[in-house]
Amino acid sequence: MSTKASTFNKLFHYGQRANKNGWGFRRRICKYLLRIIYQCEIDLAADIDETVEFCHNGFGIVVNARSKIGGETCVQHCVTIGDIHTDGPVPKIGRGCFIGARAIILGDVNIGDNAKVGAGAVVLKNVPSNCTVVGIPARIIKENSECVTASRSDSEID
């Protein structure tokens, strides 16, 4: 992750502060700018740490208002994080994770710390810490920096 925050990240985190402090007009302006300029729908009420980085200016990202994303996580473009059914359970993403482009994370899912979700993966089940998952549905291909055997990677994640 870069140490220099993009204009998008600054605008998003300012919008979060406006939401928490009850600055309704500023919150609406931030949400409007995020939607129009960056084509994303990230609810400012979502529990997203200030150190989360939205790469590629957050282009096309959708995040449910009740989702939680831990610090130092990198979220690539066109990612969807949300519920399967209206008002259903939502994902919780740990610290130091990487979420690849066009990944979809839905439902009552916990992504462990330092996990990696590959581009285009569809995650519907929990991902342990320090694992890498790819595919539709997502499968573990690496666990604690070691490749998983073919028989294990053919099964779905827990």
DSSP secondary structure string for all residues of 25-73: HHHHHHHHHHHHHH--EE-TTSEE-TT-EEGGGGTT-EE-TT-EE-TT-
CA-closest candidate to residue 58, choices 29, 44, 43, 38: 38
pLDDT score of 90: 95
Q: What pLDDT, in 10s, does the model give residues 73-92?
A: 999 999 999 999 888 899 99
pLDDT confidence band for 150 (50 / 70 / 90): low
Average pLDDT over residues 101-117: 97
pLDDT score of 158: 56
The model's pTM is 0.86
Select the CATH number that applies to the domain covering 7-153 from these four: 2.160.10.10, 2.40.50.140, 3.30.310.40, 2.40.50.100: 2.160.10.10
**What span, in angstroms and rounded, lies between the C-alpha atoms of 145 and 158?**
18
